[in-house]
């Protein structure tokens, strides 16, 4: 008797734990990540190199989220978000290098600069639809590295040389390496940015954004000022990608025009699509994907070329294409959508 009671007691206890995990998994995950520097760093399981990799994934997740807000939730395409990434990165680098600002103070400034840049770019882009908007944004992505190299801006941008900055040490003598400290900073900024995005999407502004995507004409008959909304969303989207750029500059300690070539824009777009367009978890997956490709596409391409002798030269970018095609066929709604469908199927059976 007593044993049965106690065993059902533990069973109920375990069930409670599971229920708690299911309800709070997101916060548990964030807490786990926040403790990583202590768990992994102190025990030496996770090297500074890996903290940098994780930080970069999170940074790209914020960048992808920015594009997701624009394309996924508002239906405007951009092949040029690398430009806003660059603007954010240079804003941070110039302010740290030349004005001696602390790194954290550059983030709001990058946000302001990028909002203005995004809004101003979004205004004339309103007259463009579909392919033409894609073309205009692509032109932006191609132009920005050239502008950064422009001779008369060299006083600020340092031309092709780029700008070196130095990572901040952890404050208050915290026993962390600067990579671990920056990982925590990036994580905190990301949590804040995703939280803001979720609330935005859940507000009347978010519903208006989606309504415009689904049917712009009908949205205007609901009293929504469609042109102004689209320009503002362009600005907000640029804020996200620009803050990601600023964080990238800070943790990478370096900016140069060639870090922001149009391939970056494509990477952000592919990340958004692969992760799952119009999905917040999709943005996280997309960020991980972008960093993995950035890091391993080259090596993977060489490996494949060595293993199978193809009658053509493989470029690292081929991997992007292959990954995209495979994913589009197997998971048309992105990895996030695919996982959600899988999860529903498992629950049903």
Partner 1 sequence: MALLEVEGLKAYYGQTQALHGVSFALEPGGITTLLGANGAGKTTTLRSLCGMVRTEGSVRFDGRPISGRATEAIVRLGVGHVPEGRGTFTNLTVDENLRVAAYTRRDKAAAQRDLDMVFEYFPILKARISQQAGTLSGGEQQMLAISRALMLGPRLMLLDEPSFGLAPLIVQEIFRIMRRINAEAKVSMLLVEQNAALALELADHAYVLETGRVVMSGKASVVKSDEAIRKSYLGY
Phi, psi for 212 (deg, rounded to 5): -60, -40
Interatomic CA distance for residues 59 and 290, integer angstroms:
10
Name the residue nearer to partner 1 (CB basis): 88 or 334. Answer: 334
Interatomic CA distance for residues 217 and 71, integer angstroms:
18
The least distance separating partner 1 from the CB of residue 230, rounded to whole angstroms, comes to 13
Unique residue bearing structure tokens 């990165």: 89
The SS3 of residue 7 is: helix
The least distance separating partner 1 from the CB of residue 272, rounded to whole angstroms, comes to 17
| Residues 190 and 182: beta-carbon distance below 8 Å | no
Q: What is the DSSP string of 232-272?
A: HHHHHHHHHHHHHHHHHHHHHTEE-GGGGSHHHHHHHHHHH
Name the residue nearer to partner 1 (CB basis): 210 or 305. Answer: 210
The least distance separating partner 1 from the CB of residue 4, rounded to whole angstroms, comes to 42
Name the residue nearer to partner 1 (CB basis): 186 or 231. Answer: 231
Interatomic CA distance for residues 208 and 212, integer angstroms:
6
The least distance separating partner 1 from the CB of residue 73, rounded to whole angstroms, comes to 10
Name the residue nearer to partner 1 (CB basis): 207 or 261. Answer: 207
Name the residue nearer to partner 1 (CB basis): 217 or 346. Answer: 217
276-310: b (≥16 Cβ within 10 Å) or e: bbbbbbbbbbbbbbbbbbbeebeebbeeeeeeeee
Name the residue nearer to partner 1 (CB basis): 96 or 219. Answer: 219
The least distance separating partner 1 from the CB of residue 216, rounded to whole angstroms, comes to 9
Give contact residues for partner 1 (rule: CB under 8 A): 204, 207-208, 210-211, 213-215, 217-226, 278
The least distance separating partner 1 from the CB of residue 226, rounded to whole angstroms, comes to 7
Interatomic CA distance for residues 180 and 40, integer angstroms:
10
Interatomic CA distance for residues 290 and 271, integer angstroms:
6
Tell me the angle at which helices 280-307 and 316-330 cross, rounded to the nearest 10 degrees: 130
Name the residue nearer to partner 1 (CB basis): 15 or 225. Answer: 225
* Cα three-residue angle 274-277-278, rounded to 5 degrees: 155
The least distance separating partner 1 from the CB of residue 215, rounded to whole angstroms, comes to 5
The least distance separating partner 1 from the CB of residue 278, rounded to whole angstroms, comes to 8
Tokens representing 140 are: 């932006």
Name the residue nearer to partner 1 (CB basis): 91 or 279. Answer: 279
């Amino acid at each position: 008797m007593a044993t049965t009671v106690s065993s059902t007691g533990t069973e109920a206890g375990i069930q409670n734990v599971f229920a708690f995990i299911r309800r709070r998994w997101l916060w548990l995950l964030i807490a786990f990540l926040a403790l990583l520097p202590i768990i992994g760093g102190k025990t030496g399981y996770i090297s500074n190199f890996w903290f940098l990799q994780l930080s970069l994934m999170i940074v790209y997740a914020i960048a992808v989220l920015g594009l997701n807000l624009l394309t996924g939730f508002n239906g405007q395409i951009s092949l040029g978000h690398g430009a806003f990434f660059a603007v954010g990165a240079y804003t941070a680098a110039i302010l740290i290098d030349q004005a001696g600002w602390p790194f954290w103070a550059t983030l709001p400034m990058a946000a302001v600069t990028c909002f203005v840049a995004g809004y101003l770019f979004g205004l004339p882009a309103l007259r463009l639809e579909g392919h033409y908007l894609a073309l205009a944004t692509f032109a932006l992505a191609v132009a920005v590295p050239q502008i950064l190299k422009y001779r008369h801006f060299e006083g600020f941008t340092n031309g092709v040389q780029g700008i070196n900055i130095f990572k901040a040490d952890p404050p208050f003598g915290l026993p962390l390496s600067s990579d671990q400290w920056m990982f925590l900073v990036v994580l905190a900024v990301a949590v804040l940015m995703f939280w803001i995005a979720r609330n935005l999407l859940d507000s009347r502004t978010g519903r208006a954004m989606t309504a415009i995507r689904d049917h712009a004409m009908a949205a205007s008959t609901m009293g929504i000022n469609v042109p102004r909304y689209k320009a503002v969303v362009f600005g907000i989207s640029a804020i996200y990608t620009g803050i990601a750029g600023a964080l990238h500059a800070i943790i990478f300690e370096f900016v140069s025009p060639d870090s922001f070539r149009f391939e970056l824009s494509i990477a952000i777009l592919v990340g958004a699509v692969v992760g799952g367009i119009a999905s917040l978890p999709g943005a996280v997956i997309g960020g991980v994907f972008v960093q993995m490709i950035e890091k391993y596409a080259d090596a993977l391409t060489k490996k494949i070329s060595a293993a199978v002798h193809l009658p053509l030269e493989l470029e690292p970018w081929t991997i992007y294409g292959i990954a995209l095609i495979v994913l589009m066929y197997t998971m048309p709604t992105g990895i996030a959508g695919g996982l959600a469908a899988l999860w529903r199927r498992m629950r049903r059976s």
